[in-house]
């Protein structure tokens, strides 16, 4: 059976009290809307239609590489009005239409499949997914007759106190046959407390027309929890994070404290990697096998090879760390950093757009920006690449086997040739030829006996002062 899937994503989400459209808020680093799209992609969806209105351009951008068709709602006048906009896109579509609310991201494919199966087996025109909530606040209530047949859905804002006491809710997932769906949608009115065209009114329309409709109960309440407020979002975020941590544990990753491992949805981690408490792995980071990542470290969109060690309190962004590289503690790797095999970046070192060759080291207190550093180079403590002249950025090139003494400033553009040595405390302004020594600092002067003479002179001063006071 093929279906058409319609994802409702046009609302602003007033109850979020945010400037950003609700479906653009991230859950585990991934925009909310992508959760529904992924569910749709894992079902036999012949077409995936996403209805947008608020911040449509931004939503479209998020969906750029997804196999979705965008449907504009113009003004979002309600969920029923939203589905009606898909009519021409679905003209002549023979199969059933699945409708998803984009603000219910945790729904599982299995639950929807059981809904589709029931719909088909029973030959109904309309099938709903309902759930029983201990606290049904904010949801539409499912009204049934004494025999248990569906009668209607009543939104909380329109419900009587007796209806509000009902705990069976509408979860926002529907399967409907296209001809029935679009004929029912044309009958909707906005004659309700919110003056919206409610999709939920198609239930009573089916009943009135004597068409068969039914409901499937969701197996657990978490997967059908909708996000209407920031508090809902925080709760769902936690649930998603828990699922992600469980997945990594099941794939052989060691998380010393799963609840504090903050791992985004698209991150991959190799087995036998050890993650200490309070580590953030963000974006599309790829972490290899046998890595060790210590506490209070944030890794955003990086690629780590096998057996990379990141010590405590590091920030790594858009960088590549090859096998056996070591970073930190307290290091900052900014975008464009590449550490080749076994390279080492130590304490209080900042690196930007710089390549460190195999086995090269910058162990302490250093800034490396716009540099290309060869193999087995030693960068002494306190080295600074002066890459910015106030107007432009310039490159520093350090070839293989160079030794840069501590407290060196390399004024870019500058090249240090293979095997050269730079004396500590140098300011290097000109290229250094291979295998040579460069020293660029004031020559040391020695004045013998100077310190002793000064001490004596001071002593004299004191005696004189004491004497003058006595007099």
Question: For the chain, how are helix, strand and coil distributed in percent, rounded to 5?
Answer: 25, 30, 45
Residue 53 or 310: the one with the smaller Cβ distance to ligand UD1 is: 53
Residue nearest to ligand UD1 according to CB distances in the complex = 140
User: CA 262 to CA 269: how far, in whole Å?
Assistant: 13
Q: Check binding of 171 to ligand UD1 (CB under 6 A).
A: yes
Q: Check binding of 226 to Ca ion (CB under 5 A).
A: yes
Stretch binding ligand UD1 (CB under 6 A), from 99-107, 178-186, 261-269, 420-428 = 99-107
In the complex, the smallest distance separating the C-beta of residue 116 from ligand UD1, rounded to whole angstroms, is: 19
Please provide residue 443's backbone torsions phi and psi, each rounded to the nearest 5 degrees: -65, 145
How far is CA 61 from each of CA 103, 292, 324, 470, rounded to the nearest angstrom? 18, 35, 37, 87
Q: Check binding of 81 to ligand UD1 (CB under 6 A).
A: yes
By a kind-dependent CB cut-off of 5 to 8 A, residue 102 interacts, out of Ca ion, ligand UD1, none, with ligand UD1
SS3 call for 203: helix
CB-CB contact of 84 with 186 (8 Å): yes
CB-CB contact of 436 with 430 (8 Å): no
Q: How many CA atoms lie within 13 A of 6 on its CB side?
A: 35
Q: Check binding of 34 to ligand UD1 (CB under 6 A).
A: no
Hey, which residues between 125 and 154 contact ligand UD1 (CB under 6 A)?
139-140, 153
- Give the tokens for residue 230: 């920031």
Across 399-446, the runs of DSSP E, i.e. the strands, are 403-404, 409-411, 414-416, 421-422, 427-428, 437-438
Hey, which residues between 31 and 90 contact Ca ion (CB under 5 A)?
none
From the list 382, 391, 383, the residue with the least C-alpha distance to 416 is: 383
Q: Check binding of 101 to ligand UD1 (CB under 6 A).
A: yes
State the residue for tokens 């997945």.
247
Q: Check binding of 282 to Ca ion (CB under 5 A).
A: no
SS3 call for 248: helix
In the complex, the smallest distance separating the C-beta of residue 219 from ligand UD1, rounded to whole angstroms, is: 17
Q: Check binding of 369 to Ca ion (CB under 5 A).
A: no
State the residue for tokens 């029935």.
180
By a kind-dependent CB cut-off of 5 to 8 A, residue 200 interacts, out of ligand UD1, Ca ion, none, with ligand UD1
**Is 364 in the active site?**
yes
Residue 172 or 346: the one with the smaller Cβ distance to ligand UD1 is: 172
By a kind-dependent CB cut-off of 5 to 8 A, residue 408 interacts, out of ligand UD1, Ca ion, none, with none
- Give the tokens for residue 417: 């040739």
CA 264, 36, 49: angle at the middle one, nearest 5? 140
Catalytic residue (choose from 25, 364, 394, 401): 364
CA 138, 144, 148: angle at the middle one, nearest 5? 135
In the complex, the smallest distance separating the C-beta of residue 139 from Ca ion, rounded to whole angstroms, is: 8
Residues contacting 222, CB < 8 A, separation 6+: 106, 239
| Bridge-based pairing state of the strands 437-438 and 414-416 | unpaired
Give the x-and-dash track for 102-121 against ligand UD1 (CB under 6 A).
xxx-----------------
CB-CB contact of 315 with 301 (8 Å): no
Q: Check binding of 77 to ligand UD1 (CB under 6 A).
A: yes
By a kind-dependent CB cut-off of 5 to 8 A, residue 11 interacts, out of ligand UD1, Ca ion, none, with ligand UD1
Residue 199 or 233: the one with the smaller Cβ distance to ligand UD1 is: 199
Stretch binding ligand UD1 (CB under 6 A), from 63-71, 97-105, 181-189, 323-331 = 97-105
Q: Which of 3, 4, 6, 9 binds ligand UD1 (CB under 6 A)?
A: 9
Hey, which residues between 193 and 222 contact ligand UD1 (CB under 6 A)?
198-200
In the complex, the smallest distance separating the C-beta of residue 228 from Ca ion, rounded to whole angstroms, is: 5
- Say if residue 272 is exposed, middle or buried (CB neighbours under 10 Å; 0-12, 13-18, 19+): middle
Q: Check binding of 385 to ligand UD1 (CB under 6 A).
A: no
Q: How many residues contact ligand UD1, by CB under 6 A? A: 29
Residue 170 or 426: the one with the smaller Cβ distance to ligand UD1 is: 170
In the complex, the smallest distance separating the C-beta of residue 126 from Ca ion, rounded to whole angstroms, is: 20
Q: Check binding of 228 to ligand UD1 (CB under 6 A).
A: yes
Q: Check binding of 103 to Ca ion (CB under 5 A).
A: yes
SS3 call for 183: helix
How does 190-199 read in b/e, with b if 16+ C-beta sit within 10 Å? eebeeebbbb
User: CA 50 to CA 202: how far, in whole Å?
Assistant: 20
Q: Check binding of 201 to Ca ion (CB under 5 A).
A: no
| Bridge-based pairing state of the strands 45-52 and 274-275 | unpaired
Q: Check binding of 96 to ligand UD1 (CB under 6 A).
A: no
Q: Check binding of 182 to ligand UD1 (CB under 6 A).
A: no
Catalytic residues: 364
Residues found near Ca ion in the complex (CB under 5 A): 103, 226, 228
Residues found near ligand UD1 in the complex (CB under 6 A): 8-11, 51, 73, 76-79, 81-82, 101-104, 139-140, 153, 155, 169-172, 198-200, 226, 228
């Amino acid at each position: 059976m093929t279906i058409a899937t319609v994802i409702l994503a046009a609302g602003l989400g007033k109850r979020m009290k945010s400037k950003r459209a609700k479906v653009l808020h991230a859950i585990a680093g991934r925009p909310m809307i992508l959760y529904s799209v992924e569910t749709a992609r894992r079902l036999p969806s012949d077409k995936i239609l996403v209805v947008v209105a608020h911040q449509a351009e931004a939503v479209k951008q998020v969906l750029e590489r997804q196999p979705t068709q965008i449907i504009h709602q113009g003004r979002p006048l309600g969920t029923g009005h939203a589905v009606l906009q898909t009519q021409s896109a679905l003209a002549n579509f023979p199969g059933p239409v699945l409708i998803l609310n984009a603000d219910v991201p945790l729904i599982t494919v299995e639950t929807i499949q059981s809904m589709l199966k029931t719909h088909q087996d029973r030959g109904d025109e309309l099938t709903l997914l309902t759930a029983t909530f201990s606290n049904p606040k904010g949801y539409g209530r499912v009204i049934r007759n004494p025999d248990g047949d569906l009668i209607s859905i009543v939104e909380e804002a329109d419900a009587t106190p007796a209806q509000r006491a009902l705990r069976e809710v509408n979860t926002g997932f529907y399967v409907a046959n296209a001809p029935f769906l679009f004929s029912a949608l044309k009958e909707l009115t906005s004659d309700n407390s919110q003056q919206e065209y409610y999709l939920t009114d198609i239930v009573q329309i089916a009943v009135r027309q004597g068409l068969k409709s039914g409901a499937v109960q969701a197996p657990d309440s978490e997967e059908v929890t909708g996000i209407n407020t920031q508090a809902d979002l925080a709760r769902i975020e936690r649930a998603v994070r828990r699922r992600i941590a469980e997945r990594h544990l099941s794939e052989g990753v060691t998380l010393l404290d799963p609840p504090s491992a903050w791992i985004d949805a698209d991150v991959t981690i190799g087995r036998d990697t050890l993650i200490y408490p309070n580590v953030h792995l963000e974006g599309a980071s790829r972490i290899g096998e046998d890595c060790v990542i210590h506490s209070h470290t944030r890794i955003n969109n990086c690629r780590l090879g096998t057996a990379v060690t990141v010590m405590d309190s590091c920030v790594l962004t858009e960088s590549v760390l090859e096998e056996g590289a070591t970073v930190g503690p307290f290091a900052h790797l900014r975008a464009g950093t590449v550490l080749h095999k076994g390279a080492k970046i130590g304490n209080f070192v900042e690196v930007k757009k710089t390549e460190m060759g195999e086995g090269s080291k910058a162990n302490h207190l250093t800034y490396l920006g716009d540099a290309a550093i060869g193999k087995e180079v030693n960068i002494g403590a306190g080295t600074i690449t002066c890459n910015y002249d106030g107007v432009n950025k310039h490159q520093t090139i350090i070839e293989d086997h160079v030794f840069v003494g501590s407290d060196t400033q390399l004024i870019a553009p500058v090249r240090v040739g293979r095997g050269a040595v730079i004396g500590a405390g140098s300011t290097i302004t000109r290229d250094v030829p291979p295998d040579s020594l460069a020293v660029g600092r004031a020559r040391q002067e020695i004045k013998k006996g100077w310190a002793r003479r000064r001490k004596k002179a001071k002593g004299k001063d004191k005696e004189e002062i004491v004497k003058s006071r006595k007099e």
